Structure 1
Amino acid sequence: MAGDREDDRAAPERTCVATRATRPVDELIRFVRAPDGAVVPDLKRELPGRGVWVTAEAEAVRLAVKRKAFARGFKDQASVDPAIDAVVDGLLERQALAMLGFAQKAGRVICGFAKVEAAFVKEPVVALVEAEDGSADGARKLRQALTRLNKLSSVRVMKLFRSGQLDLALGRMNVVHAALLAGPVSAAFLARCDQLARYRGVKAEGSVSAKAAETMGDGSGEPPAGTDRA
Structure 2
Amino acid sequence: MTRGGREKMKDEPERKCIATGESQPKGGLIRFVIGPDAVVVPDILGRLPGRGIYVSADTEALNKAVKKNLFSRAARQPVTVPEDLTDLVEGLLARRLVDLVSMARKAGSAICGFEKVKDWLVKGEAVTLIQANDGSERGREKLRPPKGPESLISCLTAGELGLAFGRERAIHAALAAGGLNDRVVEEAARLGGLRGANSQQVGELIAGKDTKDA
Tell me whether the two structures share a fold, i.e. TM-score over 0.5: yes
Say what the alpha-carbon RMSD is for the aligned residues. Answer: 2.5
Match of 1:166 in 2: 161
For residues 183 and 147 of structure 2, what CA distance do their matches in structure 1 show? Answer: 21
Once the two structures are superposed, what CA deviation does each residue of 1:192-221 show, in whole Å capped at 9, x if it has no partner? 112222343432649xxxxxxxxxxxxxxx
CA–CA separation in structure 1 for the residues paired with 2:52 and 2:147? 42
User: Matches of 1:198 and 1:165 in 2, distance apart?
Assistant: 17
1:184 corresponding residue in structure 2: 179
SS of match in other structure, 1:198:
helix
- Give 1:103 shift: 0.8
Task: Answer with 1 or 2: which has the greater Rg.
Answer: 1
* 2:64 counterpart residue number: 63
Q: Give 5+ residue unaligned stretches, structure 1.
A: 1-11, 207-230
Q: Are 2:140 and 1:139 aligned? A: yes
CA shift digits 1:58-109 (9 cap, x unpaired): 2111101111111111121111013211211111111111000011001112
Quote the sequence identity (%).
40
SS at match of 2:127: strand
Residues 128 and 155 of structure 1 are in contact (CA less than 8 Å); yes or no, is this contact kept in structure 2?
Answer: no
Contact 2:127 2:147 (8 Å CA) reproduced: no
8 A Cα contact 1:126 1:154, kept in partner: no
How far apart are the structure 2 equivalents of 1:52 and 1:186?
27
Question: Does the 8 A contact of 1:132 with 1:161 survive in 2?
Answer: yes
Which protein has the bigger helix share? 1
Q: Match of 2:29, as an amino acid?
A: L
Could you list the runs of 5+ residues in structure 2 that have no partner in the other structure? Answer: 1-12, 203-214
Q: State how many pairs are aligned.
A: 190
Secondary structure at the aligned position of 1:187 is classed as helix
In structure 2, the residue matched to 1:34 is 35
SS of structure 2 residue aligned to 1:73: helix
Counterpart CA distance in 1 for 2:51 and 2:190 is: 23
1:152-171, CA deviations, whole angstroms, 9 ceiling, x for partnerless residues? 62872211111111221111
What is the Cα deviation at residue 16 of structure 1? 2.5
Q: SS of 2:135's equivalent?
A: coil
Q: Which residue is 1:53 aligned to?
A: 54
1:130 equivalenced with 2:131 (yes/no): yes
> Structure 1 residues 201 and 136, CA, compared in 2 at 3 Å: closer, same or farther?
closer
Distance 2:150 2:58 in 1: 25
Of structures 1 and 2, the one with the larger relative CO (CA 8 A, separation 6+) is 2
The runs of 4+ residues in structure 1 deviating greater than 4 Å are none
Partner of 1:78: 79
Distance in 2 between residues matched to 1:93 and 1:67, nearest whole Å: 26
